[in-house]
Structure 1
Amino acid sequence: MASQPVLSVRDLSVELRSEGRARRIVSDIGFDLQPRQIVGIIGASGSGKTVLSRALVNWIDPPLAISSGSVTYKSQNILDLPPNRLRPLRKEIAYVGANPMGALDPTLPVGSQIVEKIRALVPGIDTTEARRRVVDLLGAVRIPSPGARFHEYPSQFSGGMMQRALIVDALATNPAFLVADNVTQPLDVTVAAQVMRLMRELTERFDTAVVFVSSSLPTVSEAADQVLVLAEGRIVERQTPRKLVERPEHPYTVQLISEIPQIWTDSAPVVESPARTGRPLIRIEDATRTYRVRKRGTFASFSDVRAVRNVTFDVYPGENFGIVGESGCGKSTLMRLLSRLESPDTGRVVCDGEDIARLSGKALLKFRRDFQLVLQDPFNSLPPRTAIGAIIEGPLKVHGMRGADKRRERVLAVMSEVGLSAALYEELPLGLSAGQRQRVNVARAMVLEPKVLIMDETLSALDQTEQFKLLKLFSDLQARHGLTYIFISHDMAMVRRVCNRVAVMYLGEVVEIAENGKLFFDPGHPYTKALLSAIPTLEERRYRPEECLLEGEPPSPIDLPPGCSFASRCPKAFDRCRVESPSLSVDGKAGMAACFLLEGGPASIAA
C-alpha cells in the first residue's frame, strides 16, 4: 500500500497584483512529496521557482497573492489556516533560501540564534537541551569544532559554513519537510557537493522530505528522486533524473540541457591562450596579506589571519585569467590587492610596469580608470533609489568628464553595447532581473573604457541561461576593446568555458597554475583534482568524487599546520608533506604545481 504523502500540492497559482491588474507568476502546480523523498524543481531565472518555493510554506506577501489551489499537510490546507493555527505547524515546515550571509542577525552568535528559535517553537525545552541539540546538528552537517563555532558570529563563518548553519536552523525542530531554494548556487563546488550529499543523508537520518529548487539540472540530478521542470510558472515535464537527461520530452527541457557547460566531452570548448610576449600587464610578486583579529573573550590578545601567502603570477594583455578555490582560500583578498583596495604587507603588485602601492594623484586616478571591478551581488551592488542612467554616469563625474550631454551620450552608447534598452535610462533598478542588474554593473565599469575587468564571482548569482548570455557579452566586449579579464570564481564549469590560464588557491597560497586544457585534463595537484571531481555535470566524470572529494573545512588560517597546508586533507600525503612546504615547480610545459608528488614521492605511484 502506497504511503500517505507528506505534502500534496494541487492547482496552486500565484498572482502579482498591482494597480488593479493581476499577472500570474505560478500556474496550476500539482505534485506529491512522499516521506524521505527529494523532489527537484528546476528552471531558468524568472520561471517562478522562488515564488513557488515560498508558496509551499505559505510565505507569500503583497503584491503577490495566492489566487487558487491548495497545499495540504496533515490533512489541512495550510494556505487557509489563520496565523494562530499555522504557527504551531511552523516547527514542522522548514525553508532555506539562497542568501546565507544575510539570513541571521550579525550582532548575535550563530548558535544562540538557533537556540532562541528552538525555544520559541518547542514548548518546555530548556536552554541546556536546546544548546546540546544545536551543537549535535552543527556536527551532523560537518561544521568543524561545533562547540566552538556555536559561539561565533555570522561574519566569522564562510559562505559554505553559513549555508550549513541555516540547514541546522531549519532542522533544529525536526521538520517533516524542508524547502531548499537554490541553496547551492552561491557555494563553491566542493561545499555544494557536500551539501547535496548531506541532503540525501538528512532524508534518512531525520525522516525529512525535501523540495530542492535549483537552476542547475546536474546539481538536482545528483540527489533528487523526481524532477519537475518549471517554465513560465508551469510544470512542463516531470521525470526521474535519469529519464529526464536521457530522453527529455519538452523543448524547454532540451534547451536547458543544451546550455549545460561541457567539461570533458569532445564538444567542450578549446580555450587557447593569446601569445604571451613582452611585458606582463599585471605582475603580482611574492605578495602576502595578514589581518590581525582580536581573540574571542579578550581585549588585548590578537591572532594573525594569513589570508594571502607568497602569491606570484603574471597576467598578459588579452588573457582571460582564472583564480579558483574554496570559500575562504583568499580569492577575494587577492582581488582587493590587485585592485588596490588594499596593499600587500610584503611583495608588490605591478601594473604596466608600476608598483600600484606607490601611485598617487593623477597616476592613481588613471589606474582606477583602467582597472575596474564587477562584483558578485547584482542586488545590493546597485543603489535602489538611483536611476540606472545616473548609476552608470557616476564614474564619468568622478573622473571629471564635463558636459551633461556628453555624459548622457556616453552612457546611452554603453547601455546599447551591453544590451540594455535606452528606455531604462530613467528607471530604477527595482524591476530588473539579476542578469539585467549585472549588465548595469558591467556598463558602469565599461563607461570609463578600462583595460582590465576584474570579475569577482560576477556570474555566481545567475542561472546557466543568464551566464551564457553574459559570457557572450564579455567575449564581444573583449573582441571590440582588447580587454583583459581576471575571473575570480568558484564555478569551475564557467572557468573551463572562458579562461585561458587558471590559478588554483588553497589556504592563501597558489598551489597550481596551468593552461586550461592541462588543468582540466591533467592536473598536477590533488586539490585541483578534488575541485574537478565536485563539478556538477551530466557527463561521465574524469575524476571520481569518492576518490578525490574533500570533507570538512580547510585548516584555520590563524593556526596553519607545519609542512604542506593541504596535507591534513590530502588522500596521498606522506611524511615529508607534514614537515616541509612545497613550492611551485614545473609540471609539464603548460603548468606548475606545488606538490611533492611531482618529484616522485611515495604516493606518486598511485597518482
Structure 2
Amino acid sequence: MTTSSLLELKNLTVSVGRTGSRKIILDNVSMSLAPREIVGIVGASGAGKTVLSKAVVNWLEAPLERTSGEVLIEGKDIYAMTEGDMRTLRRRVSYVGANPMGALDPTLPVGVQIVEKMRAVIPDTSRTEAEKRVIELLEAVRIPSARSRFHDYPSQFSGGMMQRALIVDALISNPALLVADNVTQPLDVTVAAQVIRLMKELTDSFNTAVLFVSSSLPVAREACSRILVMEAGRIVEEQATGKLISAPIHPYTKELVEQTPKIWLEGTMATTPGEMQEVVLSLRDVSQTYKVKKKNSFGGVNLVRAVRNVTFDVRRGDSFAIVGESGCGKSTLMRLLSRLELPSGGQVLHGDKDIGTLKGKNLLSFRNKLQMVLQDPFGSLPPRTSIGKMLADPLRTHGWRDAAKIRERVLKVMEEVGLPADLYEELPLGLSAGQRQRINVARALVLEPEILIMDETLSALDQTEQFKLLDLFQKLQREYNLTYIYISHDLAMVRKVCNRVAVMYLGELFELADNERLFFDPGHPYTMALLSAMPTLEERRYQPEDCLLEGEPPSPIDLPAGCSFKSRCPRAMEKCATLQPSLTVRGSANFAACHLIEAPMTEGAARSRASA
C-alpha cells in the first residue's frame, strides 16, 4: 500500500440479497490511490467495477450493502462519517458514470446547471466567473460552439456531448478524487483521447487523483500508470501498466490481452466480395439539410447541412463501415439508409428502386430486407414483454399467422444467436448487456433480412462480450450471405471485421478505401488523426503528437470556404482556404478528398470509383 494514500480500500466487501442468502459482489477488495495518480480498474461486465466505483463515493443503493471493510479518503472512513461530513467531503470527490442521458435536469440548460453546481460548491464565485470557467471547460472537452451550446437543454445534446458535459460537471470543483466509470465508452476516439489528456492535465494542475474504471484494456493503458484487474468481485492482478500488458500473470489477465484486437499485427477477418456481386444499397449525391430555429429571433431559421453529396455503393456480402467523429453525419446517414428519413437531395437506391418512392407493400418488403441493431442494449428492449413475444412481433407485422410456425422460427433464431430456449417466456430483466444485445440481433434476424445496419451495436459491451458477438456476426454472415453496414467509432473493431471503410467529416465523405489500404496507407490527414487516437496495446503506427486534432469542427450552420478540415489540419496549404478538394483516385476503388493527392478526378469519374 502507498503510505500517502488519498484513497485506501481495506478488505471491502459488498453483497446483495436477504440475510442468510446474500450474494457477494465485492469480495475483500483492497487497494490504494495516491494524489496525482491515475489507477485503472478493468474487467468484464459483472466483475464488480461499477459497484466498486459507487462504493468508493458511498452511493450504494439497496439491495446492495457494504457488509465489511473500510473506504478511507484522506485517512477517514466515509462509512463512519456523519451526513454533514459527507456533504463536505462531496466537494472534494466527484463521480462520472457511463450513462450520460438523463443525468441532468431536462428542464434547465446544461450550462446553467453546471454553473449552479459550481456556485454551490464554491460559494464566493460570481455568476460571471462561473459562466466563463464552465465555457472554458466545455471548450476543453471539445463541445462544438461551446458558448452557444451553454444555453442548450440536455435533450439537444448527443450522448457523446452529454458525457463530455458531465465530465465538465465533475471537474468544476477541482476535486481531489475523480471516480470515472467507463467515461470514454460512448465517445469517439479523438474525443476520448482529448478526455484522457484532460484528466492527465488535471492530475498535474490540481493534484487530483483519478480512479479510472474501464471495460477496455487499451483505453486503461492510455490513461493509467497502474492497472488492477477484477474478476468476479476480486482483484486478481495488480501491476504497473506496461508490465501488466507485456507480462500478465493471472490467466484472466492473459485472456484479456489475447482478446484485444490487433490492428496492425493481425489481418482482418472480413472477406471481400467479388466485384461481380450485385450492389444492394447505393447512395447517389445524397444530402440532408435541416431547418433549425434561430435563437432570439421570430421565425428565422438556420440551415444545418448534416450530410453533403455522399456517394457510395454497398455490395452483397460486404462488411461496410462508416466512421468519423461525433457530429460527422454517421447517424443521419443511418436514418437515410434505413428510410427513417428522406434525403433533401439525391437518391438512396435498393437495387434499382429509389427507397424514397416506396409505399405500402413495397415499403414493407424493403423493411423486411433491411433491419437495424442499435446501440443501447437496455433502452431498446421493452422490460415488460417476454423475449418470445419480442421476437414474434416482427413476424406478425409482416403477415405471419400460424402460431406454431412463428414459435418454431423464433426458437431457431434464438438458437442461432446463442440464447437458450428456456428464455422464450422470460422477461429481459436481469440479463447481461451481451445477452440483451443477442436479443436485438435475433429480433433483426427473425425476418431473414439481406442487410443489417449495426449502429454502434458493440459500444456498450465489454471486451469479452464484443469478442463473442463479433464471432457470431462472422458466422451468421457466412451462413446467410448477409451484408453488414457498421456505423462505429471503434476503429479496432472496424479493422477486424470490415472489408470497406468510409470516413466522414462534417457531413462529407473524406475517404473510401479497402481495409488494408486505409489502415496502412491512409490518404487523408483526418483518417490518420483518427488512427493515431485509437487505443491499442501495440506500438502505434501513427503518433498522436503528429496527427491528433486540436480545436473543434466548424459549425454545420456556417460552413467555411475551401476545405472544411483546414482549421484542424496539420498539413493545410494556402489553397485549402479557398478551394474545396475534389475526390481523387488512390488506386483501384480507393479515393480521398485532399489537395495533398495529385490528379483530381471529375465528379462523374469519382462517383463511378466510389461505387466500384
TM-score computed with the length of structure 2 as normaliser: 0.95
Q: Give the match for residue 184 of structure 2.
A: 184
Deviations 1:192-221 (A, max 9, x none): 111111110110112211000001111111
Q: Give the match for residue 493 of structure 1.
A: 492
The alpha carbon displacement at 1:91 in A equals 1.2
CA distance in 2, matches of 1:459, 1:72: 36
Unpaired stretches in structure 2, ≥5 consecutive residues: 601-612
Q: Give the match for residue 427 of structure 1.
A: 426
1:546-585 matches, cutoff 5 A? 546-585=545-584
Q: Is the 8 A contact 2:268 2:515 kept in 1?
A: no
Q: Give the match for residue 605 of structure 1.
A: none
CA distance in 2, matches of 1:298, 1:383: 40
Q: Give the match for residue 522 of structure 1.
A: 521
3-state secondary structure, aligned to 1:431: coil
CA distance in 1, matches of 2:599, 2:159: 36
Q: Is the 8 A contact 1:90 1:121 kept in 2?
A: no
The alpha carbon displacement at 1:156 in A equals 3.6
Q: Give the match for residue 609 of structure 2.
A: none
Answer yes or no: is 1:242 the counterpart of 2:242. yes
CA distance in 1, matches of 2:393, 2:79: 46
1:423-572 matches, cutoff 5 A? 423-572=422-571
Q: Give the match for residue 254 of structure 2.
A: 254
Answer yes or no: is 1:98 the counterpart of 2:92. no
What letter matches 1:53 in structure 2? S
What letter matches 1:464 in structure 2? Q
Q: Give the match for residue 408 of structure 1.
A: 407
Say how many residue pairs are matched: 599
1:21-36 matches, cutoff 5 A? 21-36=21-36
Q: Is the 8 A contact 2:10 2:29 kept in 1?
A: yes
What letter matches 1:363 in structure 2? N
Q: Give the match for residue 148 of structure 1.
A: 148
CA distance in 2, matches of 1:413, 1:19: 41
CA distance in 1, matches of 2:468, 2:501: 22
Q: Is the 8 A contact 1:144 1:552 kept in 2?
A: no
Computed over aligned residues only, the root mean square deviation of the Cα atoms, in angstroms, reads 1.7
TM-score computed with the length of structure 1 as normaliser: 0.96
1:109-120 matches, cutoff 5 A? 109-120=109-120
Q: Give the match for residue 359 of structure 2.
A: 360
Q: Give the match for residue 84 of structure 1.
A: 84
What letter matches 1:543 in structure 2? Y
Q: Give the match for residue 604 of structure 1.
A: none
Moved more, 197-206 or 3-12: 3-12
3-state secondary structure, aligned to 1:222: helix
3-state secondary structure, aligned to 2:566: coil
1:557–1:144: structure 2 CA closer, same or farther, 3 Å change rule?
closer
What letter matches 2:86 in structure 1? L
CA distance in 2, matches of 1:74, 1:564: 52
1:140–1:500: structure 2 CA closer, same or farther, 3 Å change rule?
closer
CA distance in 2, matches of 1:471, 1:151: 41
Q: Give the match for residue 216 of structure 1.
A: 216
Unpaired stretches in structure 1, ≥5 consecutive residues: 602-607
3-state secondary structure, aligned to 1:307: strand
The alpha carbon displacement at 1:480 in A equals 1.2
3-state secondary structure, aligned to 1:326: coil
Q: Is the 8 A contact 1:143 1:552 kept in 2?
A: no
Moved more, 517-526 or 574-583: 574-583
What letter matches 2:303 in structure 1? D
3-state secondary structure, aligned to 1:101: coil
1:306–1:20: structure 2 CA closer, same or farther, 3 Å change rule?
farther
Deviations 1:556-581 (A, max 9, x none): 11111111111111111112111111
3-state secondary structure, aligned to 1:598: coil
The alpha carbon displacement at 1:175 in A equals 1.3
The alpha carbon displacement at 1:493 in A equals 0.4
Q: Percent identity?
A: 63
CA distance in 1, matches of 2:59, 2:128: 31
Q: Give the match for residue 204 of structure 1.
A: 204
1:504–1:18: structure 2 CA closer, same or farther, 3 Å change rule?
farther
Deviations 1:383-428 (A, max 9, x none): 1111111111111111121022221121111111110011111211
Q: Is the 8 A contact 2:58 2:79 kept in 1?
A: yes
Q: Is the 8 A contact 1:100 1:166 kept in 2?
A: yes
The alpha carbon displacement at 1:140 in A equals 4.2
What letter matches 2:175 in structure 1? P
The alpha carbon displacement at 1:589 in A equals 2.1
3-state secondary structure, aligned to 1:79: helix
The alpha carbon displacement at 1:131 in A equals 2.7
CA distance in 1, matches of 2:431, 2:559: 44
The alpha carbon displacement at 1:19 in A equals 8.5
Q: Give the match for residue 6 of structure 2.
A: 6
3-state secondary structure, aligned to 2:429: helix
3-state secondary structure, aligned to 2:542: coil
3-state secondary structure, aligned to 2:80: coil
The alpha carbon displacement at 1:120 in A equals 3.4
